[in-house]
Amino acid sequence: MVRLIQLKLAGFKSFVDPTTIQLQGQRVGIVGPNGCGKSNIMESVKWVLGESSAKEMRSENMDSVIFNGSENRKPISRASVELIFDNSLGKAPTEWAQYAEISVKRVIEREKGSTYYINNLAVRRKDIADLFLGTGLGGRGYAIIGQNTISQIIEAKPEELRNYLEEAAGVSKYKERRRETEFRLRDTRENLSRIQDVVNEIIQQIAKLESQAVIATKYNELTEKHKFHQAQVWVLKKRDASIVWKKHQSQVEKLVNELEQQTAALRKIEAEVENLRQAHINASDEINKNQASFYEINSEVSNIENNIRNQNELLERSKKELVEIEANLAKNSEDQLKFTKEIEEAVIEKDVLSELFKAKEESFNTLKSSIQSVEAQYLLSSEQFNQTVNQFQSTQEKINLEKATIDFIHKTEEETNARISFLNNEIINIDLSGKSQLEHKETDLNDKRSDAEKIEEKISENKSLSSDLEEEIDTLRQHQIEIQKELSQIEGEIKTLAQIQDDTQGNESLKSWTSQHNINTSNRLWEKLKIKTDWVTAIESALGGKLNAILAQYESIAHRPPASMVLANLNATHAYKPKNNKLNSALDAIEISDPLLMNLLSEWLSDCYLIPKGESYKNFIGNLEQGEFLVNQQGDIFTKNSVSFYGKDASLNGILIRQERLKALQVKFPSIENNYKDVLNKLNEAEIQLSDYEEQADSFSEELKDALNELHQKEIEVEKIQQSIAYANEKHSNITREQNELQAKLTQIEIDKTSKSSLIQNLEGDLLRFLEKRTAAEEIKKNHEFEYESARKQVNEAEIQLQESHFNLKIIDNKIGELNNRVTLLSEDNNSLNNKKNLAKASINTEQIDTLQASLREKLTVKDGREKVLIASRDNLAQKETDLRESEQKRLQTEQAVHPIRDKLEQSRLNEQESKLLFEQFQNEINESQLDEVILSESITDKTTVKEVQEFCNKLQEEINLLGPVNLAAIHELTSEKERKGYLDSQVEDLTSASNTLEDAIKRIDKETRDRLIATFNEVNKNFTEFFKVLFNGGQAKLELLGEEILDTGIQVTAQPPGKKNTTISQLSGGEKALTATALVFALFKLNPAPFCLMDEVDAPLDDSNTLRFANMVTEMSKNTQFLYVSHNKIAMEMAQQLIGVTMQESGVSRIVEVSLEEVEKMELAN
């Protein structure tokens, strides 16, 4: 058995810091004051073992187990708990037995959920549960007893008590195996049902495919025949196309020769045209050269003429410009003299203005110095005046402020009195009479709730009826499918048998022959016969091909039929009788009333005799006469010297049995069809009824919705009234509190009014004194201000005069500068005019014009010579163009003669290509048919025509079309479906076998579980009685089964403490319940010791004497089980081998400390 040696906590509830608890003894006590976190240790162990209920963790949700912060610490986002077990003895389950230590850990992060680990390997929660399955530590275990829950063990429901017994018996793993086996069994049955449905569908499909396969086979035969004859058509067409192709090839060769002759003549003419074209090009180049030379000399003549014209214009323009320059020079001289005189006058005026400016500047400086002392006196008096004004205004503002404060106090007093009056009226008007209305509304609410519950009951009843009806519909549908399958099978068999029987009527050629002779082929002998059951095969063998004889009345036959057949003449009147009375005649096995038909059969069977069943032919062979023979029930025929063993004929074998079977099926089919219609009617009625139920369900749902809406409305009304009452109570309390506050405020207002009035009187006296000081200071300020203004006015006037003098001086300086600039500009303009004058005189020159006139005369002489050469070149070019035009016309005539020949050649080539393509097309068709062309050619003669073969192909195509839509894949699909059915049949067998195996496994599990539970129940009952007597010093207690089957019955506890009559558990005191539950837990431990047991204040309801007996029993049980318990009892602490103290020195944070027994005693006294 594994042993718990360490417990590690981090961030779990109040254990925020990583904490490791070493568990060294078999009895470990956990002590500490109330609220320090002792129970958190117990809950951490329960949590790490897979607890998923937040309620069991005393939390709102599972994230609440993470430390949520305290006054000094922030919340964290992760918590973990780890248990470390000693497995040195290898008692852990097989998967983990190899490890000396086993670590079980659970980690949780906010909003991410939990993760489980075993030895740091991530596992499922189920793996944790499997590790402790059957140890009492599982989800339904008894080894973890929380605070105030010890008595709940014996007060549990009977089914829960049985769970404790199952955990002690170690059958939890058996139940888990059984549950998994049931799941597999359910899946197996579902798979089996689905496969059976598929098999049923396949059977129907096979029946359809069998009839389709017969048609597909016939279609394939006709198609192959059609393919062969169509290939013959392609061979014939290829032969014709080959003849046409050769004819077109010879025509093309003839036209090619003719075209080559014409082309040679055309090439000769084109060479002559090319020579003439080259001569024309040379003449054209020569004329271009002469024309360029003429244009060049013409351009030179034009340039000289333009230069002469430009020189004449320049001479006239220079003379006119020289006159204008002389006039401008004269005007500039006059302006220069004028500006020089004005400059002299301005210099004199400047000297006068300079003397005047210096005098005014001295006067301004003198006045400016004298005003500074007057300004200082004025500023001092102004400052003194401002100080008195500020003191006066400050005092005035204080008085105004205090008066405003008194006005505000008066206003506040009025508002407070008004508020008190309003509150008095409000408190009178508060309605506190809502309780009676609330009781009335709550009654209505209960009525609506009752109505909703009634509707829910109707809905539940409707669901139950619908469920029953759905089961009935499922049963009817299954019955419908079964009948439909049977109908499909019978219908398919009828069609197949009818098709086989029809095939015995012969082929089309035979039918044509019988039609010509007015013979009805459908009147067959086998259709008229009725044979005793045991002798059907014997008669079939004896008659042989005569069995398919056509019964007809005829006189003679004109010519032979195209195939073998037997005609039976109904005109026969002679009857043959068996001659051998020692044997049984074959005619005795035939039951027929038609004398003509009997005459016919007597002719064929008069020499045939039957071998009785079970007899050997040897017993009768000696009685045979010449020509007679014997036949047994197997159809074997015996004569004196031979024996013919009966074999299966492809067409006539079983024809009579098939006919009987066909008649029986045709009789059976209507009754099954009627049964199918009855099931359909019942199914329709049930579906209509189900539809009515569904409509009722919709109606009930609407009623429930309306009822819930009304209920919700009533709940809202009740809540409104409750809120109104709460609001009225709260309002009354608030008004009373506000009235008290307002009365205190009025008292304070009176005190403030008196204080403010006294302060205002003192401030008004100060205001009169400051007023007198302000008047005196204001008079002094006015005198100094007048003196200062007079002096400042004189300074301003002197400054203005000084500025005017400086401005005039600046104006005269600007005038002198501007005149000097004008004189300078006139000098520069004269220099420019003199330069222009010199250039104009130089440009007046006639020598250049004379030179240009002489050059012009020379160029005109050269121009005339070149013009004559150009005219001669143009005449030569015209002659060349005439010769070229005549040669080109001759070439066109020759080319036009070539075009018709070329067109004919192209058309012949197209015809030859077309015939070639037809030949290749027919060859491709033959190749695609994948038939031997040699065989095809041998199958036709020279006289065979395409039309004859094509007409025969068309007839074959019509026969194919008469078959209608053909499922060509039917043969393959039929084989595939049969193979699939065989595979599914094997799967059905496997699943049926697996289902039986699983059912046997469940029975074995139930047997083993039952045996172990019975043994465990007896042993636990015995131990329970013993421990109960030890803990109570006597008395009786036992477990009782509430039913006969221990696997599903409940268990109840009966206890009778010493000196008391039989009583129920609910009548026991708290201490008695605790001791009884302890006795039961220890009885379970004795049979199946858990690795460890957690007990949280289990001894709380016990007195000292009972605690002592409890401690002694724990000490005894700790030999096999490790105990961790929380206790405040000194006796319980003393039995501990190890004490773990829990403290909370920091608010909200638990810590582990070493604890001695003396400290424990002090804690007890403190509590």
Dump the DSSP string for 581-650: TTSEEGGGGB----HHHHHHHHHHHTTEEEPPTT--GGGTGGG--TT-EEE-TT--EE-SS-EE-----T
170 neighbors 973 (Cβ within 8 angstroms):
no
**In the structure encoding, which two tokens stand for residue 840, read together?**
């104009």
| Distance, CA of 871 to CA of 994 (rounded, Å) | 124
Predicted pLDDT at 650: 40
Highest mean pLDDT out of 82-91, 934-943, 958-967: 82-91
Percent above pLDDT 70 for the chain? 88
Closest CA to 1121 of 1076, 1086, 1075: 1086
pLDDT digit string, tens, across residues 695-732? 887 787 788 777 877 777 777 777 777 777 776 777 77
Dump the DSSP string for 702-765: HHHHHHHHHHHHHHHHHHHHHHHHHHHHHHHHHHHHHHHHHHHHHHHHHHHHHHHHHHHHHHHH
Q: Is 19 helix (H, G, I), strand (E, B) or coil?
A: strand
Q: Is 1050 helix (H, G, I), strand (E, B) or coil?
A: coil
Closest CA to 73 of 1143, 1144, 1141, 1140: 1144
pLDDT digit string, tens, across residues 57-107? 888 888 888 998 888 888 899 999 999 988 888 777 767 878 888 999 999
Q: Work out the angle at residue 277's Cα, subtended by the Cα atoms of residues 271 and 281, and round it to the nearest 5 degrees.
A: 145
Q: What single-letter amino acid sits at 1041?
A: L
Residue 782 burial (CB < 10 Å; 0-12/13-18/19+)?
exposed
Q: Is the pLDDT of residue 1004 over 90?
A: no
Mean pLDDT throughout 807-830? Answer: 76
What pLDDT band is residue 117 in, cutting at 50, 70 and 90? very high
Phi first, then psi, for residue 107 (nearest 5°) are -125, 135
What pLDDT band is residue 108 in, cutting at 50, 70 and 90? very high
Q: Is the pLDDT of residue 340 over 90?
A: no
Lowest mean pLDDT among 646-650, 1093-1097, 1119-1123, 1125-1129: 646-650
pLDDT digit string, tens, across residues 11-50? 999 998 999 998 888 889 999 888 888 888 888 888 988 8
What pLDDT band is residue 917 in, cutting at 50, 70 and 90? confident
Predicted pLDDT at 564: 60
Q: Is the pLDDT of residue 208 over 80?
A: no
| Distance, CA of 255 to CA of 263 (rounded, Å) | 12
| Distance, CA of 13 to CA of 35 (rounded, Å) | 12
Q: Is 114 helix (H, G, I), strand (E, B) or coil?
A: strand
Closest CA to 1040 of 1025, 1026, 1029, 1030: 1025
Predicted pLDDT at 884: 72
Binding residues for ATP, as ranges, are 33-40
Predicted pLDDT at 520: 62
202 neighbors 981 (Cβ within 8 angstroms):
yes
DSSP E strands: which ranges in 136-224? 144-145
Mean pLDDT throughout 1047-1072? Answer: 78
Tokens 């020769």 correspond to 257
Rounded to the nearest integer, the mean pLDDT of the chain is: 78
Q: Sign of torsion, CA 14 20 26 29?
A: negative
Predicted pLDDT at 8: 93
Dump the DSSP string for 499-538: HHHHHTT--HHHHHHHHHTT--TT-BHHHH--B-GGGHHH
pLDDT digit string, tens, across residues 748-805? 888 887 887 888 878 778 778 777 777 887 788 778 777 777 777 777 777 777 777 7
Predicted pLDDT at 103: 92
- Estimate the share of the chain in helix, then strand, then coil, as percent rounded to the nearest 5: 70, 10, 20
Closest CA to 629 of 646, 642, 616: 642
Mean pLDDT throughout 600-604? Answer: 76
15 neighbors 96 (Cβ within 8 angstroms):
no
| Distance, CA of 1129 to CA of 1164 (rounded, Å) | 7
Q: Is the pLDDT of residue 570 over 60?
A: yes
Mean pLDDT throughout 495-512? Answer: 58
**Cα separations in angstroms, 114 against 50, 317, 793, 832:** 10, 114, 99, 109
| Distance, CA of 413 to CA of 497 (rounded, Å) | 120
**In the structure encoding, which two tokens stand for residue 233, read together?**
């058509």
Buried b (16+ CB within 10 A) or exposed e, 27-41: bbbbbbeeebbbbbb
pLDDT digit string, tens, across residues 355-376? 777 777 777 777 777 777 777 7
pTM: 0.37
Q: Sign of torsion, CA 407 408 413 418?
A: positive
pLDDT digit string, tens, across residues 1009-1031? 788 888 888 888 888 888 888 88
Q: What single-letter amino acid sits at 999?
A: E
**Where in the chain are the domains?**
513-640
Q: What single-letter amino acid sits at 317?
A: R
Lowest mean pLDDT among 118-122, 247-251, 262-266: 262-266
Q: Is the pLDDT of residue 1135 over 80?
A: yes
Question: How long, in residues, is the chain?
Answer: 1167
Mean pLDDT throughout 120-134? Answer: 83
Percent above pLDDT 90 for the chain? 3
Bridge partners for 27 per DSSP: 1123
| Distance, CA of 1124 to CA of 1141 (rounded, Å) | 13
pLDDT digit string, tens, across residues 293-311? 777 777 777 877 777 777 7
Predicted pLDDT at 177: 72
211 neighbors 492 (Cβ within 8 angstroms):
yes
Q: What single-letter amino acid sits at 771?
A: L
Binding residues, as ranges, are 33-40
Region at 951 (left for phi over 0; alpha for psi -120 to 50; beta for the rest)? alpha
Tokens 């039913």 correspond to 1043
Q: Is 117 helix (H, G, I), strand (E, B) or coil?
A: strand
| Distance, CA of 1056 to CA of 1064 (rounded, Å) | 9
Highest mean pLDDT out of 74-83, 614-623, 643-652, 1124-1133: 74-83
